[in-house]
Amino acid sequence: MSDRYDCSDPEQRAAGLKAAVEAVRRGELIVLPTDTVYGIGAEAFSPAAITSLLAAKQRGRDMPPPVLVGTVRAATALVEELSDAGRDLIGEFWPGGLTLVCRAQRMLSWDLGDTRGTVAIRMPLHPVALDLLKETGPLAVSSANVSGMPAAATVDEAVDQLGDTVAVFLDDGPATGGVPSTIVDLTGVIPKLLRAGAIPVDELNAVSFVSTGPEPAEAAGPSEETGTFEAADDFEAADDFEAADDFEAADDFEAAEPPENVEISDAYPMAPGTAPMAPGTAPAPAPDESPGTGRPSALGGDSAADHAPGERRESP
């Protein structure tokens, strides 16, 4: 039987976060609020938990979930290398509506599905989500809905779709997001826009040049061994999680083919052509030092130095 906690009440919020952390460590599923829509989360380093998440959403391994982090340090521990452009983009737009696709750290023991060597990571701008992530470490999180159905904007909607497959529901009222995250691919020589979203392209380019056109032959996408770009049809177009299945939608975005490991929200339709204007954002602090290879230190709870800044805008 599932437990539900009202995070608007301080006592229930504390009890709910504790219950959610314990559920994650047991390999169970939770539903959490984000700056876009509600998400369904699982321990990123537990293959059994990932299998349960995909089963609850009724989707296959060909649509692996992205990973949410609560600190920059946790993010850098998950990737092979973070370019200067990636660090600059993180420093300006995290926490918030920017998802970065990177080459995954090969030394980590995890299995998110058929990612072909890449991982999509994001730091959400939501106090409950950030507090949870600082305790659990990185979580695999997808929109809280059955694939093909609208993304859950309330806990009631998540309960209706996911029911007893979820152990703990954290209720923080209706989701306030409305625009999916912008997705940028960092696996090539030049950062490449995969989907327009919450962060407008001109704001990205004010920090670091991001290509919006086809890659030149010499800077083609990653090989099958390290990652690949798949057609937008492989992602679920929706209204969100950012539209929904991964918090993001992609069918209408013809400018680029998203990598196989980036889920597209079931709830948000893809932004046509250019990113919508989003509310002003405050810069996040510069990236922390990576703890090195292996399982990120965040999994056991981050130190005060690892904690992300206060909330900034919307998202999972």
* pLDDT band per the 50, 70, 90 thresholds, residue 218: very low
206 in a structural domain: yes
Domain assignment of residue 301, yes or no: no
Range of the domain at 192: 3-285
Q: Is residue 311 part of a domain?
A: no
We report the CATH number of the domain holding residue 235 as: 3.90.870.10
Cα–Cα distance for residue pair 100/11, rounded to 1 Å? 35
308 assigned to some structural domain: no
What is the structure's pLDDT at 177?
76
Do the domain assignments include residue 68?
yes
8 CB burial (10 A radius; 0-12, 13-18, 19+): exposed
Cis ω on the peptide bond leading into residue 258 (within 30° of 0)? no
pTM for the model stands at 0.68
| Lowest pLDDT segment from 99-113, 130-144, 243-257 | 243-257
Q: Cα–chain-centroid distance for residue 203?
A: 20
Q: How many CB atoms lie within 10 A of CB 218?
A: 6
**190: DSSP letter:** S
**pLDDT tens-digit profile of 185-205?**
999 999 999 988 889 999 999
Name 183's bridge partners: 99, 195
Q: For residue 40, what pLDDT is reported?
A: 96
Q: Is residue 316 part of a domain?
A: no
236-266 pLDDT per residue, tens: 333 333 333 443 433 333 334 444 444 433 3
**Rounded-to-integer distance, Cα 83 and Cα 99, Å:** 15
What does the pLDDT average to over 206-217? 81
The total number of structural domains that make up the chain: 1
pLDDT in tens, 69-99: 999 999 999 999 899 999 999 999 999 989 9
